């Protein structure tokens, strides 16, 4: 997402206006925020982002790999779906603190809270359904069946996610070492998608001679 704009569409519109002014030699109006857009890395460079996981979830992927991807999405601590569920819950609680029920029949804030609460309940149901689906995915056959069996079920994917933008992106992520832990990979992916992250330290393979070695602390610059 952009840093100064509420949506991708608004950022693209601002970028178009910026380019028009450059073409005609015009200056930006006084007080207008500078154009700054967060870089969205290509999916292969961020395998633990949602676009990265979607790019890994191909028709030729092994059942165990697909089940692991769903597990990553639904993980109770850092999964994308639990985080989204908590975000909706926080928005509902924010609305709850602004309720006035003097006239329950005419309370737009209560209507908004009701919608957010319903969305939260739906997300909780999705999490439960995905937990059951993990076992089913792992038990699926690895080979694809005859396409004639696929025609009776609709395809659900309808769009490709935005993977890049205008403007410079963050520094190239450090290469992933064979045998690196999931936590190391997640940290690299998180830093690769952060617009304020400093240089990404190279991952160090575990050493048998120093079992108690502590990794160097991660530092993030706050330059504006």
Confidence at residue 90, expressed as pLDDT on a 0 to 100 scale: 96
Q: Give alpha helix (H) positions in the chain.
A: 8-24, 50-56, 63-74, 80-96, 108-138, 182-192
Band the pLDDT of 85: cuts 50, 70, 90.
very high
Write out pLDDT tens, residues 7-38. 666 667 777 777 777 777 666 666 566 656 56
What is the C-alpha separation between 118 and 164, in angstroms, rounded?
Answer: 33
Its pTM stands at 0.56
SS3 of residue 148 by DSSP = helix
Confidence at residue 62, expressed as pLDDT on a 0 to 100 scale: 93
Nearest to 80 by CA among 54, 118, 108, 111: 54
DSSP 201-215: PPP----SS-TTPPP
Confidence at residue 107, expressed as pLDDT on a 0 to 100 scale: 84
- Please state, for a pLDDT cut of 70, what percent of the chain lies above it: 57
What is the C-alpha separation between 210 and 208, in angstroms, rounded?
Answer: 6
What is the C-alpha separation between 27 and 46, in angstroms, rounded?
Answer: 37
Q: How far is CA 65 from the centre of its chain?
A: 19
Write out pLDDT tens, residues 142-200. 998 998 888 889 888 877 666 554 444 445 545 555 556 666 666 666 555 554 455 55
């Amino acid at each position: 997402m952009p840093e100064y704009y509420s949506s991708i569409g608004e950022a693209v519109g601002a970028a178009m206006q910026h380019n028009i002014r450059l073409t005609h030699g015009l200056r930006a109006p006084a007080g207008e925020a500078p154009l700054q857009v967060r870089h969205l890395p290509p999916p292969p460079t961020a395998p633990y982002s949602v676009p990265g996981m979607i790019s890994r979830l191909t028709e030729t992927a092994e059942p165990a790999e697909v089940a692991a991807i769903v597990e990553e999405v639904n993980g109770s601590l850092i999964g994308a779906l639990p985080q989204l569920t908590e975000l909706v819950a926080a928005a509902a609680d924010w609305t709850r603190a602004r309720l006035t029920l003097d006239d329950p029949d005419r309370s737009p804030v209560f209507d908004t809270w009701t919608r957010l609460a319903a969305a939260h309940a739906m997300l909780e149901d999705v999490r439960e359904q995905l937990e059951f689906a993990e076992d089913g995915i792992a038990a699926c056959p690895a080979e694809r069946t005859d396409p004639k069996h696929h025609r009776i079920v609709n395809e659900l994917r309808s769009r490709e996610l935005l993977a890049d933008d205008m403007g410079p992106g963050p520094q190239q992520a450090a290469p992933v070492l064979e045998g690196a832990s999931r936590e190391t990979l997640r940290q690299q992916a998180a830093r690769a998608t952060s617009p304020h992250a400093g240089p990404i330290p190279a991952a160090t393979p575990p050493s048998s001679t120093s079992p108690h070695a502590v990794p160097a602390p991660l530092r993030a610059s706050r330059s504006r």
